[in-house]
Amino acid sequence: MNTEENDTYILRACLNTIYDVCDEIDAGGTEIEFNGRKITLRKLFEIETTAYLLYLTASDKNISEEEIAFVNDLMSRTYSMEKCVKFINQTHMLEGDFGSTTPLSTKILSEYTREHGNDISEKLVKLYDGLGLALMNADKTFAQPEQQAHRDYIRLLRGYLELSAPEEEE
């Protein structure tokens, strides 16, 4: 197994860990309103994680076939280049507040797991960090705008999790 295959294997294992937590929460009857319809937390997490990857892909204004193949492989999708470009353009992802808004699934997962004594907040940040690094490695360009978007997004997640963490008793 080469390094890239090993990294993908590790990322899939991390995704599966988060999916398991989502499934546990969903089993409790959680329904989330998203774009006018009710969906599971797992589905929301999948959508937001895929959107993050597409956001990074588009951040350098150069969407490569290798990046789309990486997203499809990791997220078990079959998106075409055209569908990804259409989604990015329709959502105005690069002009809007995507890169400055904490995903709802991250908020729900963090709050739930903190309340139930199994805080996975740091795992979420590490997952998004690893996803971003692996995506940038997919086409070997490591473009500055992608790197900056990645750093800013990880900083956003860390900031949210620090601000939302319960205060420690002295």
Distance CA 149, CA 44 (A): 21
pLDDT-based confidence at residue 95 (cuts at 50, 70, 90): confident
Judged against a pLDDT cut of 70, whether residue 109 lies above it is answered with: yes
Which two three-digit tokens encode residue 10?
């590790």
- Mean of the pLDDT values across residues 134-146? 89
Specify the pLDDT at position 134.
93
- Mean of the pLDDT values across residues 117-141? 91
Please identify which residue in the block is written with the tokens 């937390």.
Answer: 41
